[in-house]
Structure 1
């Protein structure tokens, strides 16, 4: 069963009965706020996530992600949650500091 754990949200665990879903969709369906300024279309980097473990459980990088990486807007341990599909297994992530909402209490 695919699982997302968001470390700096108190190790919030999101289980899904379905694989092959975008990470941001799984997070939002859980009722958790996650920033996305462009409407989940890969046109910005506000939904980026820092991947601590499980990068191999994600779909290959998309064109927008590769372009942002070449521009230096995505590091090697970052992916866009609107472009990344969780294929299987567990994904351990963090919300990037720059993309944190002011109304949410984040943990370290």
Structure 2
């Protein structure tokens, strides 16, 4: 069963009954606010996740992600949550400091 752990949101766990879902969809369906300035279309980097573990459980990088990577706007351990699909297994992620909401409490 696909699972997301968000480290700096007090290790919040999200489970999915179906593989192949976009990470941001799973996060939002579980009532967690997550930034996405372009409306989840892969046109910005505000929804990025810092991937700590489980990159093998995500879909390959999309053209949008590869472009942002080439431009230096995505690091090697970062993905766009609106583009990356969680196929199986577990990913452990963090919210980037720049993308934290002021109304949420974060751990660490």
Which range, TM-score by smaller chain? over 0.9
Q: What TM-score, normalized to structure 1?
A: 0.99
Q: What TM-score, normalized to structure 2?
A: 0.99
Q: Quote how far apart the aligned CAs of 1:47 are.
A: 0.1
What RMSD over aligned residues (CA atoms) do the two structures have, in Å? 0.3
Structure 1: which 5+ residue stretches go unaligned? none
Partner Cα distance (2:62, 2:10) in 1: 29
2:36 alignment partner in structure 1: 36
Q: Quote how far apart the aligned CAs of 1:49 are.
A: 0.3
Q: Quote how far apart the aligned CAs of 1:45 are.
A: 0.1
Query: Number of paired residues?
Result: 108
Partner Cα distance (2:10, 2:30) in 1: 15
Secondary structure, aligned partner of 1:49: strand
Structure 2: which 5+ residue stretches go unaligned? none
